[in-house]
Structure 1
Amino acid sequence: MQVFKFGGASVKDANGVKNIASVLQKVGYKKTLVVVSAMGKTTNAIELVIKNYFENKTELQSSLQEVKKYHNEILLDLFDPDSYRDVNHQAFKKINTLFDELNSFLKTNKSPDYNFVYDQVIGYGELLSTTIISEYLNTIGIKNNWIDVRNQIKTDNYYRRANVNWSDTQRLISSKFDPSVLNITQGFLGSDENNFTTTLGREGSDYTAAIYAYCLNAESVTIWKDVPGVLNADPRYFENSQLLNKISYREAIELAFYGASVIHPKTLQPLQGKEIPLFVKSFLNPEAPGTQIGKNVTLDPMIPCFIVKKKQILISLSSLDFSYIVEENISEIFTLLHRYKMKVDVIQNSAISFSVCVDDLYNNLDKLLHHLKAKFKVTSDENVSLYTIRHYNQSAINQIEIDKTVLLKQLTQGTVQIVVKPL
């Protein structure tokens, strides 16, 4: 059994869908599961739909129509009505049904909970993409089985960052999955005990692939990207990035933890548990070796690896009476960080001060700062950048610090983290 995952960039248009077929034909698709993300920037477009649902109802249908128009254009490019009249009708009918379901939810929903609504709506991106791809593959003779992932991956109801119920998920996949055929399913999604849609966090499609691989005892997982493999730096932010040929599970988990966007932070844990190798390859050059992540391999080549997380917030605390910041204070601070769902990326403390760099995913910063100011002197710097360098040297550090104000720097034996803002 092999598991393939294709991201949004690989299916941003009709040519991308056709390229998936080409990749499958080149590398083989016997006993294969294909996990697919939403097409192109669909997730961002549906986030606008959600925003309009809560804040600007007059623009709701217009933003939804943009999503529908985008997918219909891909359908028209893929299906020739003259050659595939029946298939064409079926593909359009299925897509229209999904949009009808989405419209119905938006009209009848009574919940004011943003996170709940987000998960019920956002997943239509993946449902649409996999439906189109499945129909196209069937049309050209690559027979496949479309799976609604929500019937197999079960989670709690921590909407937007749900936790997998492994026992129920294993039972459902073992009993309902047919490994003898090509299967197509959605990344990113699951469902709770009441069968409401949940999501595994942004970029969670990689994690979906790993969940299936673990439950199916797969031989390997391959993530297909628009880059040749895992690079030592994101080419959007760093010049002269280099391909990493091999990475250990441990090193890859470190890179993912610090924010390397090519791998979801939770993806590697289930794979490591069963020693399932992960490959990251280019869907533009599918027969190239890419990057292998596995057991008992060292970083090849051994070079500094750069990660940047932008739009972070640096919060600095000190005691009002110059007393020590001790265990009791730190415990209280972390209780508040947890309560307001802050993603903590860096911590630094001294005798009378405590600094933390966070990602405010749930827009709770003002509430957190208000609470903290009741007991501490608080300053915050918004829109800062956090750079992490694995296997750093002085030259790598200098490269990051040039033309920037360093707000915080923390060095350990293998990693340096630097919080900066422009001069």
Structure 2
Amino acid sequence: MRVFKFGGASVKDAEGIKNVYDVLQKVGYEDVLLVVSAMGKTTNALEVVIKNYFDKSAELQSSVQEVKKYHNQILLDLFEDDKNDVFQAVKLHFSDLDYFLGHNKSPNYNFVYDQIVSYGELISTTILSHFMNFMGIKTQWIDVRNFIKTDANYRDAEVNWELTQKNISKNVKRKILNITQGFLGSDENNFTTTLGREGSDYTAAIFAYCLNAESVTIWKDVPGVMNADPRYFENASLLNQISYREAIELAFYGATVIHPKTLQPLQKKEIPLYVKSFINPLLKGTSVSKGATLEPFLPCFIVKKNQLLISLSSIDFSFIMEDNISEIFSLFSEYKLKVNLIQNSAISFSVCVEDKFDNFKELNTVLSKKFKVDFTENVTLFTIRHFNDKAAEMVEKGKTVLLKQVSTETMQIVTRDN
């Protein structure tokens, strides 16, 4: 079997749904399992619903109504009249959502988040499945929660591989187009769980692993994996092929290419991964496989904006030793600052971090009791894999370099605009 994953951008409206049909006509759909995300920005819209639910906001019903209205318009654009069964099927999902909002007693934010946000995927796949049937492609709609079993760590659940393998091996029919949801699973009590960052890609990898699939294809609105983000670099080039290892290295440094969690099950069974364009589906895109050399061999650029450069030194000029570093890292973890670069000398310790939750001010108060703290806000961290002098010059041009670190394959540069 082949496993295809379509993200929210590919199914954001009626034209997107029709395009998925066109892609399948071009690349084939027999022995295919589709993993599909929520439509467009539905997850964001459902997060607003969750916020209003907890705030006991008067805006709760109107935020739910926005989600209903968005999907209803897509239905009206896709189907000739509202007599199609899909209208009733979607209405049932929204009835379940309304029931949960009216009857839930749990105060656990993460639990509530997973129960509510899951409706995005359930509804998108219901609409897609009905449209494929309407267009003459017979489908099997699968509720992924009956297949992928997890622990109860809501919003970042761990997969129970033994149970999941059993469910998928036994119940996925071949010779038909299977359509299921990305990002979701369920715990032993059948409550919905979600798989964390890049969860839909991970879902595709889980099914591929359990089905011994021929390949996984992630369909995007770009030609494949590029050597740089075209928003920041002119003349970004398509990478025709990369190895699993290289893809994991790029992801480690912050590239939003493919999450390591997705690559790990594929690597174990050496299942190739393709990243292709849903706009031009017959183009080759990028292949990720075992031992593939980077082709073409080019420097790869990763940009992380809005970083914070912190320099810590001992107040009494004593050495910063292992116990100090251990304590510092423990505090970074406690205050949820993500460390992206480390450099230390005898009496100072510099880190480039991401303060996603705006906790640095509080952390600074704690650190200042033991260390002299200097920091620079809004810096940019550039990582260059397979760097050369020209690549470094291009990054540094017109900027002040605050810190640079070089290893055999990788250069990291922290800069501030002049």
Q: TM-score range by the shorter chain?
A: over 0.9
From 379, 384, 393, the counterpart of 1:389: 384
Contact preservation (8 Å) 1:204, 1:264: no
TM-score by length of 1: 0.91
In structure 2, C-alpha distance between the alignment counterparts of 1:194 and 1:408, rounded to whole Å: 50
Structure 1 residue 379: Cα displacement? 4.2
* Residues 401 and 195 of structure 1: CA distance in aligned 2, closer, same or farther (over 3 Å): farther
Moved more, 365-374 or 304-313: 365-374
From 378, 387, 393, the counterpart of 1:398: 393
Provide the aligned C-alpha RMSD in A: 2.2
Aligned length, in residue pairs:
418
Contact preservation (8 Å) 2:46, 2:116: yes
1:4 aligned partner: 4
In structure 1, C-alpha distance between the alignment counterparts of 2:342 and 2:165, rounded to whole Å: 36
1:66 aligned partner: 66
Structure-to-structure mapping, 1:359-378, within 5 angstroms: 359-361=354-356, 364-366=359-361, 368-378=363-373
Structure-to-structure mapping, 1:141-156, within 5 angstroms: 141-156=136-151
In structure 1, C-alpha distance between the alignment counterparts of 2:243 and 2:194, rounded to whole Å: 28
Secondary structure of the residue aligned to 1:57 is coil
In structure 1, C-alpha distance between the alignment counterparts of 2:394 and 2:53, rounded to whole Å: 44
- Is 1:258–2:253 an aligned residue pair? yes
1:248 aligned partner: 243
Deviations 1:22-68 (A, max 9, x none): 11111111111101111112222222323333447122222222222
Secondary structure of the residue aligned to 2:33 is strand
In structure 1, C-alpha distance between the alignment counterparts of 2:277 and 2:343, rounded to whole Å: 39
Percent identical pairs in the alignment equals 68
- Is 1:108–2:115 an aligned residue pair? no
In structure 2, C-alpha distance between the alignment counterparts of 1:379 and 1:161, rounded to whole Å: 34
Structure 1 residue 10: Cα displacement? 0.9
Contact preservation (8 Å) 2:248, 2:259: no
Moved more, 315-324 or 69-78: 315-324
Contact preservation (8 Å) 1:42, 1:67: yes
- Is 1:220–2:215 an aligned residue pair? yes
2:326 aligned partner: 331
Contact preservation (8 Å) 1:259, 1:265: no
In structure 2, C-alpha distance between the alignment counterparts of 1:371 and 1:121, rounded to whole Å: 37
2:75 aligned partner: 75
- Is 1:206–2:187 an aligned residue pair? no
Structure-to-structure mapping, 1:348-363, within 5 angstroms: 348-361=343-356
Read off the aligned partner of 2:397 and give its amino acid letter.
I
Moved more, 301-310 or 60-69: 60-69
* Residues 287 and 394 of structure 1: CA distance in aligned 2, closer, same or farther (over 3 Å): same
Contact preservation (8 Å) 1:32, 1:183: yes
Read off the aligned partner of 2:170 and give its amino acid letter.
S
Secondary structure of the residue aligned to 2:372 is strand
Read off the aligned partner of 1:196 and give its amino acid letter.
F
Structure 1 residue 282: Cα displacement? 0.9
Structure 1 residue 21: Cα displacement? 1.0
Gap runs ≥5 in structure 1: none
Structure 1 residue 303: Cα displacement? 0.9
* Residues 232 and 115 of structure 1: CA distance in aligned 2, closer, same or farther (over 3 Å): same
Deviations 1:175-200 (A, max 9, x none): 33223421111112222333332222
Structure 1 residue 380: Cα displacement? 4.3
In structure 1, C-alpha distance between the alignment counterparts of 2:92 and 2:380, rounded to whole Å: 43
* Residues 301 and 29 of structure 1: CA distance in aligned 2, closer, same or farther (over 3 Å): same
Read off the aligned partner of 2:394 and give its amino acid letter.
Q
Structure-to-structure mapping, 1:220-369, within 5 angstroms: 220-361=215-356, 364-366=359-361, 368-369=363-364
* Residues 269 and 29 of structure 1: CA distance in aligned 2, closer, same or farther (over 3 Å): same
* Residues 415 and 32 of structure 1: CA distance in aligned 2, closer, same or farther (over 3 Å): same
Contact preservation (8 Å) 2:250, 2:257: no
In structure 2, C-alpha distance between the alignment counterparts of 1:343 and 1:243, rounded to whole Å: 29
Secondary structure of the residue aligned to 1:70 is helix
Secondary structure of the residue aligned to 1:267 is helix
Structure 1 residue 293: Cα displacement? 1.1
Read off the aligned partner of 2:40 and give its amino acid letter.
G
Secondary structure of the residue aligned to 1:281 is strand
